[in-house]
Amino acid sequence: MNRRGLLIILSSPSGAGKSTLSQRLRAWDEDILFSVSATTREARAGEVEGQDYHFLSETRFKRDVAAGDMLEHAHVFGNFYGSPRAPVQAAIDAGRDVLFDIDWQGAQQIRNSALGAHTLSIFILPPSIAELHRRLETRGQDAPEVIARRMQKSWDEISHWDGYDFVLVNDDLGRTETKLRTIVEATRLRRTQQPGLTDHVRRLQQEFEDRS
């Protein structure tokens, strides 16, 4: 294996461009997998097990958390959500990156997990609060009261920007995408992601000793 996969975490306030950048990153490299979360809520019409979510009972979910089988988890609006460890472990062991679209709390849990050494965390900032509000309005997905709640929450999310490996200001989507690709490509070369390096150095050492 040439390299070990990365756990790529993208976080941002709603409207900063995280979802679009996630889509573009996966279009750029189709080998990047998107992490499928587990949840205790009921499946909605059209949702597919293992594709949209892993639907678990609350008992099973709590048991997995206790066993360390969730990389991160949270309780949201009466239901539990989390990222199962096993499929992520299998993917990075096979040299494939896994993309996470999660908030700062989930990012912190993953960085502190057993797979933290293979984590790349990136926070996306908007160019201004006014632009953030404009983007939320122009995408036409939310009612005004929902936009107001998202704006109120945005500062709490932004305040955790300094807990990430990289921070990008998304003032131009194309330029931000280029920077994101560069960060991923460079981090793939990090020493922790190259499992064959130790053996290579040992061969170099043996070759050096044989020449002595």
Residues facing residue 99 across a β-bridge: 8, 34
Q: Which CATH architecture has domain 7-35+95-211?
A: 3-Layer(aba) Sandwich (3.40)
Band of residue 193 on the pLDDT scale cut at 50, 70, 90: very high
pLDDT band at 136 (very low <50, low <70, confident <90, very high): confident
| Cα gap 115→192, rounded to integer Å | 11
What does pLDDT average to over the chain? Answer: 93
Q: What is the pLDDT of residue 164?
A: 97
63 pLDDT exceeds 90? Answer: yes
Q: What is the mean pLDDT of residues 76-99?
A: 94
Pick from 42-51, 87-96, 170-179: least confident: 42-51
More confident residue, 70 or 152: 70
pLDDT of amino acid 135: 87
DSSP string, the chain: ------EEEEE--TTSSHHHHHHHHHHH-TTPEEPPPEESSPPPTT--BTTTBEE--HHHHHHHHHTT-EEEEEEETTEEEEEEHHHHHHHHHTT--EEEE--HHHHHHHHTSTTGGGEEEEEEE-S-HHHHHHHHHHT--S-HHHHHHHHHHHHHHHTTGGGSSEEEE-SSHHHHHHHHHHHHHHHTTSGGG-TTHHHHHHHHHHHHHHH-
Q: What pLDDT does residue 77 have?
A: 78
Whether 1 has a pLDDT exceeding 60, the answer reads no
